[in-house]
Structure 1
Amino acid sequence: MKIKPFAVEEWMNAWEVGAKYNIAETCVDSISMNELFELTGEDKTEFLNRLCARRLSYGDIEGLPEFRKGVCGLYKTLNIENIVPTHGASGANHHVFYSLISPGDRVVSIMPTYQQLYSIPESYGADVQILHLSKENNYLPDLEKLRRLVTPETKMICINNPNNPTGALMSEQMLREIVEIARSADAWILCDEVYRHLSQEDDWCPSIVDLYEKGISVSSMSKVFSLAGLRLGWIATHDMSVVKSCLSHRDYNLVSCGVFDEMLAAAALKHSDKLLERSRKIVRENLQILDNWVSSEPHVSYVKPKAGTTALVYYDLDIPSYEFCEEMYKKTGAFVTPGDCFEVPHSMRIGYAYGKQDLIDGLKAISEYIAMKTR
C-alpha cells in the first residue's frame, strides 16, 4: 500500500523536540497523573493499589466497561455496545477506513482537515472527492457543492467538527442538513470530533451519532482531556454493522487496548465535567490572547475560531510557509505548523491551548520575525 507522507505529523516529528516556544501543539495543556487525581478528587492510593494488584493480561478485549460507560456520558443516545476503543483518535480514523472502505468506493472529504480523512481512503484505492472549505465561507462546507459531490455510489462523507486547523464549528442545523445529504445516498458520515466540547460558548455541542443512524464519531482522551499520553481513543456509532466490522478487523491489528490506559481514562471520565471546565477556561482565555495579537499585528489575519485549540493564521509576506516556519523556528524558537501541511499556502496553524506563557512569548517571537523580514 502506498500512502502520501503525513505532512503535519512529519513536521511535528522533525521540530517539536527542542522548540523554545511550542505554539504548534494541539492538545489542551497536558496534565500529570498527580494533577489528574487532584483535579478529580479520585483516591490516588486506592486507584494505584487496584492497578498494581491487577494481572497484566490483555484485559477486556472489547474495552473496559467503566471506560466505555464514561465515553457514553459524552453523548446523548449511546450505550457501551456502541463504543469500540482504539489506540488514539488517529487509530480510530484509520480503523474505520480499514474496516469499511474498499477500492473504488466513493468517499467525499473536506479540505483543509486532518490529512487522515482523505489520504487513508485514497491509499485504499477509494474514489476520493474533495470539498474545499474557504475562508470567505468561514471554513464551513458549501452544502450545494456537497450535494453535487455525493452520488448514489457514495459510501462515506468525512467531516471534522470542530475543524482542525481552522477552528470552524458546524451548527446542529448544518449537521442535520449534511445528514439528509448522506441519507439520500445511504452513506456513512465519519466525523472526527476530537475537539468537540472545546467551544467558546456553554451550549451542548451536538455529535453526529446523536443525529444520524449511520453517523460515526471518532474522538480520544488527548485533546479535550489533556491525556494524550494514554494513546486511547474510540469509535462510536449506532450502526451495529460498523461495530461488528470494526471488532472483526480489530482482531488483526489491535486485539485490545492497554489495561492501564483504560483504567485511568475511566477514572478521568467519571469527572469529565471537571476536566472540561479546566479545558474550556484555558481555550477561552488563550483565544482572547491570540485574538488581541492578530488585531495588533498588521501582517496577519484569520477567521476567529469558534471552537477547538487551533487557528489558521495568514501572513502577507511573499515567503512559502515551510520556509517561513523553519526560518522563524531557527531564528526565534517560535514553533508553528506550515499552512502547506494542509494545502493552504501563506499561512500557519497556531495551537493556542498548550500554555499561556508559551503562547504570549511565541506570538511575540512571531512578530519579531515578521518585523525582521519587513524592515
Structure 2
Amino acid sequence: MTGLIERGDHVVTLLPTYQQHYSIPESIGAKVSPCWLKEELGWQPDLDELRRLATPGTKVICINNPNNPTGALMDETMLKEIVDIARACGAYLLCDEAYRGLNHEGDPFSPAVADLYEKGISTGTMSKPFSLAGLRIGWVATPKEIIEMLAHMRDYHVISVGMIDDYLAAVALENKEKILARSLSICRENLAVLDAFVAHEPHIHYTKPKAGTVTLLHYDLPMTSNELCRRLQEDTGVMLLPGSCFDMEKCLRIGFANNREDLIRGLGIFSQWLAAL
C-alpha cells in the first residue's frame, strides 16, 4: 500500500477487515471511505453502496476474501460484480486472500482477484491455511508494473527472507494437498463443535461462517465487548477478541481451528461463565 497510495488518493475499504486496509492509507494521507458488510446479507457488501463510494479516480478498493473476522465468503459472481465496479472507476482491486483454500463446502479455493481483473492484486500467506505463521512468508499476484514497484520497495524493507524460512515454505508448498486437507478437516470438524455450542447457548447467536478459521459471535448481555472479554479472561483464563477491535460492539471474534479438545473445554467454560452472570 505504501508504494501504491499517495497523499490525497481515495481508497474504499470493505469493513470489518484487517486494520491495515484502512489505517495504512489513512496514515499516508489518503481519504478512506468505509463500506460495511451487512449481516442481513450474510456479511456480504451492499453493491449499490459500493458503487456510490467508488467514484471516478478512486485509487484502490480493498477487500478481504474469505473475510476476517466474519468468516463470510464472496463467490465468483460477487467478485465479478466488484471487479466491474473497480474497472468502472479505474481502481486497483486489492484482495487479502489469507484464508484462501479454506472454504468449508465445495471447492476449497475461491477465485483469486488477480485472475479476474487486469488491475487485481491478490495477496496470500503461509500463516493461515498452512499453519506456518512463524515463517512470516507470503506472496503477491498482480500486474507486472506493481511487481516491479514492490521489488524496488522490498530493497528498502526486508531485502530477503531467512533461508530456513524459505526452505520450509517451499517444502510446505510441495506438499500443499496433504497440508490443506488436514487444515480443512480441522476447520470442518471444529465448526461443528462451535455450531452446537451456539445452538444451545441462549446468550449467543451468529451467522455461520463459510470459510476460514474465525467468526463473530453476537451476545445479548449489558456490557461492552471489551469488558466481557476482560472479565472472561480474568475469571476463567478463556480469551476471545472483543468486537471493538473491529469497531463493532456486542460481538466477539473466536478462532475455532485449534486443538479440538481445547475448543470443547473452552466453550464449556465460557457457557458456565455466561450462565453464572
TM range (shorter): over 0.9
Map of 1:236 onto structure 2: 141
Map of 1:210 onto structure 2: 115
Q: Deviations along 1:134-188, whole A, 9 cap, x unmatched? A: 2111111111100000011100000000000000000001000100110111211
Map of 1:285 onto structure 2: 189
- Please say if 1:154 is aligned against 2:63: no
Matched residue SS, 1:183: helix
Once residues 371 and 98 of structure 1 are traced to their aligned partners in structure 2, the CA distance between those partners, rounded to angstroms, is: 47
1:318 pairs, out of 222, 228, 232, with 222
Matched residue SS, 2:59: strand
1:342 pairs, out of 246, 250, 258, with 246
Map of 1:4 onto structure 2: none
Aligned residue pairs, count: 276
1:261 pairs, out of 165, 170, 186, with 165
Once residues 55 and 163 of structure 2 are traced to their aligned partners in structure 1, the CA distance between those partners, rounded to angstroms, is: 43
Which consecutive aligned stretches of 4+ in structure 1 deviate over 2 angstroms post-superposition? none
Once residues 105 and 355 of structure 1 are traced to their aligned partners in structure 2, the CA distance between those partners, rounded to angstroms, is: 44
Once residues 322 and 191 of structure 1 are traced to their aligned partners in structure 2, the CA distance between those partners, rounded to angstroms, is: 29
Matched residue SS, 1:334: coil
Once residues 110 and 22 of structure 2 are traced to their aligned partners in structure 1, the CA distance between those partners, rounded to angstroms, is: 25
2:43 pairs, out of 139, 155, 162, with 139
Once residues 185 and 259 of structure 2 are traced to their aligned partners in structure 1, the CA distance between those partners, rounded to angstroms, is: 12
The amino acid across from 2:119 in the alignment is K
1:226 pairs, out of 113, 128, 131, with 131
1:31-180 alignment runs, 5 A limit? 97-180=1-84
Q: Deviations along 1:78-122, whole A, 9 cap, x unmatched? A: xxxxxxxxxxxxxxxxxxx11100001100001111111111111
Q: CA deviation at 1:202?
A: 3.1
The amino acid across from 2:110 in the alignment is C
Q: Deviations along 1:326-374, whole A, 9 cap, x unmatched? A: 110111111110011011101100000011111111111111111121x
Q: Taking every aligned residue pair, what percent have the same amino acid on both sides?
A: 53
Once residues 136 and 297 of structure 1 are traced to their aligned partners in structure 2, the CA distance between those partners, rounded to angstroms, is: 21
Matched residue SS, 2:104: coil
Once residues 42 and 247 of structure 2 are traced to their aligned partners in structure 1, the CA distance between those partners, rounded to angstroms, is: 17
Unaligned runs of 5+ in 2: none
- Please say if 1:368 is aligned against 2:255: no
Normalized against structure 1, the TM-score is what? 0.73
Structure of greater relative contact order (alpha carbons < 8 Å, 6+ residues apart): 1
Once residues 246 and 259 of structure 2 are traced to their aligned partners in structure 1, the CA distance between those partners, rounded to angstroms, is: 24
Unaligned runs of 5+ in 1: 1-96
Once residues 324 and 281 of structure 1 are traced to their aligned partners in structure 2, the CA distance between those partners, rounded to angstroms, is: 31
Q: CA deviation at 1:233?
A: 1.1
Q: CA deviation at 1:305?
A: 0.1
Larger radius of gyration: 1
